[in-house]
Chains A and B, each alone.
Chain A
Amino acid sequence: MENAAIQTHGLTRRFGALTAVEDVTLSVASGQFFGFLGPNGAGKSTTIKMLTGLLEPSAGSVEILGRPFGASALDLKRQIGVVPEGMALMGRLTATEYLHFVGRMYGLDRHTTNQRTQELLEFMQLADENKKLVTDFSHGMQKKLALAAAVIHGPKVLFLDEPFEGVDAIAAGMLKTMLTGMINRGATIFLTTHVLEIVERLCSHVAIISQGKLVANGSLEDLRAGVASTLPGVEQEQRLTLEEIFLAIVGAGGQQEQAQELTWLT
C-alpha cells in the first residue's frame, strides 16, 4: 500500500514453543483510525510491542512511516506515541514531573514541555491532582496520564493498547474527541480495545487477530458484507454490529449456546 503509516510483513513472535503472533501482514494507511481487535491472549499486545520497537520479532518485518526499525529507530521513535500495556509510568513522580520528564526525553525544549504539560493535565482533568504521586493515582487516572505522555511530543502515529480501560465516561468522551481531532490533522492511530462500540464509532478500518493469526482485515463495511454473506438468515442489507461481526469471525457462537445451558443461573 502506498502512503502506509504502518506496514508489517509476515510478523511473527515466538516465546519458546508458544507462537504468540504468527505471520501477520497488514497495512495501515496514513491518517487512518485503525482498530485491532481480538479475544484475550490473541496476541494484540505482543503485536503492538513489535510495532513500537519494544519487542524484537522472531520473523517478519515492520515499517513505520515507510522506514524499518533498526538504524532509524531513534528517529522513528520521535514520530510515534505509545500507551503500552504496562502504561510505562514512574510511580515516584507527580503527574507534572512525569510529563516534564517524558517531554524532555522526546527532545522537546523546556518551555514547550511545560506548556504542553499544563494543557494536557488540564485536558485530562489531572491538574488538581498535582501533589499526588503517580503510584497513588487510581487506574483510570493512570490511564489518562499514560495517554497524555503518549501525545506530548505530537506523534504522527499513535499506538494505544486498551486506552479506555478504567476511564470514566466523561473522560472517555473527551479522549475520543481528542483522538478524532488528531486524525483530522493527519495522524494515524492504531487502537486495541475490548470496547467494540468505540471501535465501531471511531475506526474506519479493523483487523481481527485470533490465536496469533490475522483472521480479518478491512474496512468495517467490507467486514460487514463478508460476514453477512457467510451467516445463514442474514440479509445483505441488514446492518450487523461490530460485536456480531467479531463473534462470527472469532467463532464464539458455541460459547453462547453453552451459556444457555447454565440453566441454574437466575
Chain B
Amino acid sequence: MKTKGFMVLLIALNLFAAGCSVERSLKLDARLPLPPAVKQVPLHIGVYYSPEFIDYTKKIEFIGCGPSGRRDSYGIFFIFPVGAASRDLFDQVAAGMFAAVTRVADPSQPFRDASSLDGLLELRIESFDWGTMCTKDYFSTLKFTANVRYVIDLYNSGGSSVASMRVEGLGIEKLKPCLVDCKESLAVERAMQDAMAKFMIEFNEQPEVKEWLSTRKAAGGNP
C-alpha cells in the first residue's frame, strides 16, 4: 500500500515536472557595433563554416539561486544557437582583420573556386558551457557564466595546415530585471566576443602565422 502511494506521488511529481518544464530558444547576436580597432592584413582569406558548426546548439537547464546559495531547479531550459551567432561574429572579425574575405562552400577545393585566396580559415566549436553562480549569503544573488572554446585552423594556398589556434572566451553577467525590449544573451555574447578578441590579438603572434604572413606579404598577397 505504501509502495503504491509512493509510486502515485512519484508519477504525479513527474507529470507536474513534465507539464511545467519550459524551453526557450535565445536569439544571440554578438556582432560588434563598430569595426575592430586593428590594422588590416593585406591578404585575401577564405572562411569555411561546416554545417555542424553552423547548426551547433546546446540545451542547458537553468539552475536558480535559493537562500544561502542553494541551487534550485525550475524546469526551465535554454537553447543556445551558438554556431550561427559565432558565424555572424566571425564574418565581422575576419572582415576587420583581412583586406578581403570570401566564404568558401567546399573546403576540399577552396583554391580552385577562388584561386586568388592566400589562405583559408576553418572554425570549430570545441566546447560551450553555460550556468549560474550564486552568492552564499541569505539573499543569494545570481550571475550567469558562459564559456566557449573555438579551434581555428589556418591552411595555406596549397591546402596544407599552417597553424591551429585554440581560443577561449568567458562571459559573466548579473541577472538584471527587464520587462520590455530586453536583450537576453545571458553572458553568452560576451563569451563569444572575448574569444574572438583573443583570436584577433594572438593570431599575428603565432610563430607559424608570422612566418606564413611574411611569405605571403613577400609574394604580394591578393588583397
A pairs with B: no
